[in-house]
Amino acid sequence: MVRHPLIDDVVGPAIVVESASPVVWLTDALASLLRRSADAGRMVVLRTGSESAITPALRHALGAYGAAWAVADFDGTLRDGRTGAAASGIEDFVHRGPELVGTPSPEHPVAADSVRQISIDLTLRHHAERAVDMGSAIEALCHTVGTCPTRWGTAEPLTVPWDRWVVTQYAKHEAPGVSTSYAVGEGFSATMTAHLVGGVVVETMSAVLTVPEENTDPELANRLFDAVQQVADQVVPVFGVVMQRRGDADHLIRSVSHGEPSPLAVVVGPEASEFLDRDGVWPPPRTTTATFGTRSGARDRSGASDSDVVDGGMIVRFEDGWEALESFLDRIDEDRFLQLVGGAPLDPAHDEGTLDGHVRDARVAGGHGAA
């Protein structure tokens, strides 16, 4: 049995935490309860009122530890704070999963105000021969929109000034285990993890950036993808997803609907690109590709030299969102691809709600912190 001062109720295997706070943070106490409950095979259900918001860090932690967010409306009915699906009680989260799938409750409103955001979920492998520098990828992406992290930490409130050298030292201290840290700034929020796989540091980042409204900065997309290519010169991208979405200006997550996000691109690293089927029409319909990290005189798997062999990665940009993404996913050798990717950074994307059920249907999933 998990004993903790934050526990307000126990419903079967579910541990209920009540909060009347207008903003619920990932405090040290709540983080410890999430960890202990997951270790004990228990599900934490955070129950709040309809006016409460949770932070991006807490949103990530709920997803990472298989916890739920139940919103109690004024009439006493419950719904999933993330999906809006109605719940008959706490037991629904136990039996149907921490994120309920179904028709949103009539009490789950559409957001009245929102801003345009870009989410970037990316897994990176640091070069073994180079010094590890956590956070450099985030800074490269942030500079493209003029907003960067100002504070970071492992629990909230985030009060430590952003310093990627200190972030790196924290990740090294936690190695070989998984380190998780969070960063925020004006119009910016991110989750970072790092762990060792075969002596190589694997970093995942899930960042959300507020950007100008569509058509006000026509070069923004090109700058973002240029930044990804710049990152590729320092580390090795494994796989990434870039989405356009709507969200609240303060980056808090409220129990409202902002509509479905739209896929903009995927980043396919050198190893992952080997698992793509390029027969027939390539690139797939409604997509365009740009390569990075290629070199001439590469050798194919048979050992033959061929200057046209591409041994680098690629950025696949989508012209029409989900249809183009699904067309691309049809070209993946899923079994071999998942052995490499293992779900990260798709799991953080699920935690943030940016992939919804689309990629789940394509069976791209994996464990927290997988490489």
Q: Are strands 115-126 and 160-161 parallel, antiparallel or unpaired?
A: unpaired
Among 86-100, 125-139, 252-266, 326-340, which stretch is predicted with the lowest mean pLDDT? 326-340
Cα atoms found within 13 Å of the Cα of residue 175, Cβ hemisphere only: 19
Q: How far apart are CA 255 and CA 187, in angstroms?
A: 20
Amino acid at 365: A
Tens digits of residue pLDDT in 109-158: 999 899 999 999 988 888 776 777 888 888 888 888 788 899 999 999 99
- Residue 278: the pLDDT is 85
Provide the token pair at 279.
Answer: 């027969």
Q: Quick one: how far is CA 371 from the chain centroid?
A: 14
Spell out a b/e string for 39-74, using b for 16 or more CB atoms within 10 Å of the CB, else e.
eeebbbbbbbebebbbbbbbbbbbbbbbbbbbbbbe
Give yes or no for residue 29 having a pLDDT over 70. yes
**Taking the model in full, what pTM does it have?**
0.84
> pLDDT averaged over the chain?
82
Give yes or no for residue 245 having a pLDDT over 80. yes
Among 162-176, 323-337, 342-356, which stretch is predicted with the lowest mean pLDDT? 342-356
Give yes or no for residue 309 having a pLDDT over 80. no
Q: What percent of the chain has pLDDT over 90?
A: 45
pLDDT bucket at 342, cuts 50 / 70 / 90? low
CB 237: neighbour CB atoms within 10 A? 25
pLDDT bucket at 338, cuts 50 / 70 / 90? low
CB 306: neighbour CB atoms within 10 A? 12
- Residue 299: the pLDDT is 35
pLDDT greater at residue 62 or residue 130? 62
**Burial class of residue 304 (count of CB atoms within 10 Å of its CB; 0-12, 13-18, 19+):** exposed
- On whether the CB atoms of residues 206 and 64 are closer than 8 A, the answer is no
Q: Residue 255 to residues 54, 60, 122, 134: CA-CA distances in angstroms?
A: 9, 15, 26, 32
H/E segment holding residue 35: helix 28-39
